[in-house]
Amino acid sequence: MEWLIFAVLGTWLIVSALGVVFVKNPVHSILFFLSSLLAMAGIFISLGAELLAGLQLVIYAVAIVVFYVLVITTIPWEKVKRFEGFYGKELTMSAPALVVLFLLMAYMVLKGEFAKPVGVVKDNLREVGKALFTSYLFPFEVASVILLVAMVGAILLGRREEG
Amino acid sequence: MSIEKAYILLSIALFLIGLLGVIVRKNLITILVSTELMLNGINLTLVVADKVIGAVHGQIMAFFVLTVAAAEVAIGLGLVVAIFRLKGYEGSSEITHLRD
C-alpha cells in the first residue's frame, strides 16, 4: 500500500518538477510548481508529518505562489516573452553531469545503511510542538527576526527612489 | 530496498532537477522557482530522516527551512523587480556587469 502511494505521488512530483524546468511560459511554470507542492504535501502526510504538510499548503501553496504571480503581473509581458524557455547549450552540458551525480548519490544511498532508531514517536504533532517550544525556543525566536528583516528588506528594495 | 531509501532517492532527484532549472532557465523569476524546488527536496530528506530514526528534530529543521524560504522569496523577488525597474533586465544573460 505504501509503495502504491509512493509510486503515485512520486511520479506526480517528478513530472511536475520537470514541467517547472522545461515548460516555456513562466506562468505555466509556476502552475507546475503549485502541482508539485500539492504532491509534496501528500508525501508529508503519508510520512506522518501532518503539521509540515499543513504549513506546506499554507505557506508555499498560498503565500509564495500568489506572491510570484503578483510579481509577474508587475513586469511588462513583452519583456518576459523575450526571455522564456531555457538555454539549449547549457542543457546539453549540464544534464549528463547531473545524471552522473544522481547515479553516484543513488549508489551511496543504496549501499549505505541508516542510523539505528533512537525512539518511537507516538503523537507526532504533540512531539513537534513540545520540541519547538522547549529545546528549539531560541531558533524559533530568531526565525521571527529573520522574517522581520526580510520584510524590512523587501520594503527597502521595492521603494521608489526619490530624487 | 526499504521505502525510506526510495524516498531519499526521490528527494535527491528533486534537488537535482531544481539545480538543472537554476542552470538552464532564462528568466530570473523561474530561476527563483527552481531554487524553491531545491528547498523542497531538502525538506523531504529531513522528514524521511525523521521517520528513519524516530525523532522530530528533522521536522523542526524543515520548519526553519520553510521560514527561510519565505524570507528568501520576499528578498529575491524584490531584487528581481528592482533590477528590472533600474536596468530593464529580465533575462539572466543580460546581467553581466556588477556596476556600470
pLDDT tens column, B13-56: 999 999 999 999 888 888 999 999 999 999 999 999 998 998 88
Cβ–Cβ gap B56/A127 under 8 Å = yes
**Among residues 24-83 of chain A, which lie with CB inside 8 Å of chain B?**
26, 29-30, 33, 36-37, 40, 43-44, 47-49, 51-52, 55-56, 59-60, 63-64, 67-68, 71-72, 74-75, 79-80, 82-83
What is the band of B94 on the pLDDT scale with cuts at 50, 70, 90? confident
Residues of B in contact with A2 (CB under 8 A): 3
**pTM for this one?**
0.90
Residues of A in contact with B8 (CB under 8 A): 109
User: Which of A26, A94, A127 shows the shortest C-beta gap to B29?
Assistant: A26
DSSP-based three-state secondary structure for B91:
strand
Whether B24 and A23 have beta carbons less than 8 Å apart is answered as no
Rounded to an integer, the average pLDDT of A120-124 is 83
Whether B41 and B14 have beta carbons less than 8 Å apart is answered as yes
Integer Cα distance of A47 and A2 in angstroms:
9
User: Which of B8, B36, B91 shows the shortest C-beta gap to A64?
Assistant: B36
Sequence-separated (6 or more) residues with CB below 8 Å from residue A51: A124, A125, A128, A129, B59, B63
Residue to mutate among B73, B84, B93, with most A CBs inside 10 A, is B73
Cβ–Cβ gap A68/B32 under 8 Å = yes
| Residue reference for cell 501532518 | A50
Whether B84 and A72 have beta carbons less than 8 Å apart is answered as no
pLDDT of residue B100: 58
pLDDT of residue A162: 63
Q: What would the pLDDT profile of B50-78 be if each residue is shown by its tens digit?
A: 989 988 888 999 999 999 999 999 899 88
Cβ–Cβ gap A114/B25 under 8 Å = no
Closest CA to B19 of B4, B33, B7: B33
Sequence-separated (6 or more) residues with CB below 8 Å from residue B37: A17, A20, A33, A36, B14, B15, B17, B18, B21
The size of chain B, in residues, is 100
User: Which of B32, B60, B75 shows the shortest C-beta gap to A150?
Assistant: B75
Residues of A in contact with B45 (CB under 8 A): none
Cβ–Cβ gap A158/B18 under 8 Å = no
Helices A65-74 & A26-46 angle (0-180, nearest 10): 170
Helices A137-158 & B57-87 angle (0-180, nearest 10): 10
Which ipTM score applies to this complex?
A: 0.90
pLDDT of residue A54: 92
Predicted confidence (pLDDT) at residue A163 exceeds the cutoff of 60: no
Whether A10 and A42 have beta carbons less than 8 Å apart is answered as no
Integer Cα distance of A43 and A47 in angstroms:
6
